[in-house]
Structure 1
């Protein structure tokens, strides 16, 4: 399998690939907790123009990962965002980290992580609000993320954990 992780701009093609992953991911992550009707309503409410505007904000970056040219995962990096409990004077960067189950493999996870990590070497802390039942949670902890708080995330406010990683920058 050919795996490619690359920075993607908020273009129609980039957003189309991102929405493909979001739609499939929503089905996988929410089906046990939320009705099909609510998931469908959420997916129908995704506004591509709003996403393009958000991704074309200079403080945000999108990394897409492809497996044999099919959209397989993504990470959105948001510079300057904070979470409760961050120390004063620390620079924090929020990430999302999503890989579709049908493409999930150690190689794909590492490809997306390495590209993501290369983009955030300027920050003091990386943080993510990850659903507690997300299978990628264990992978992030293996990388060195630690749980700092329980929270709720996603469009349905399901139980989640806020994870952080110190980057070693001061």
Structure 2
């Protein structure tokens, strides 16, 4: 069931991504797009965090698969903020657009950290201890953005 939900959400997100390049999106479309991307980031990063904290058994193949997905999604995340601020149901703070260069730098850090984690886990045969530091870099980049640019 979860796999089907993730597949469906990924298909919707991909459709939104393709549409973003074709036509200007409304504020709600931009908000929906970025929320879909971050929902998928959370759905993939959450189990990795549970493994890193020992709450569930470490599965190197699942960890690698999820890391690759987060890396892919990290390249899409900033698009949902472009052209803002966007009016609608969002927890995004206006500081994103007031501090666009700093925000963009943080998003680049997230993308780089996610890519490095995906590369470190590629093949699905690494021990958690071997990738823990890279995992923490991604987690820290997420937390920094949430602390500075997200209400709640």
TM-score (norm 2): 0.29
- Considering Cα pairs closer than 8 Å and 6+ residues apart, tell me whether 1 or 2 has the greater RCO: 2
TM-score (norm 1): 0.27
**More strand as a share of residues:** 1
**More helix as a share of residues:** 2
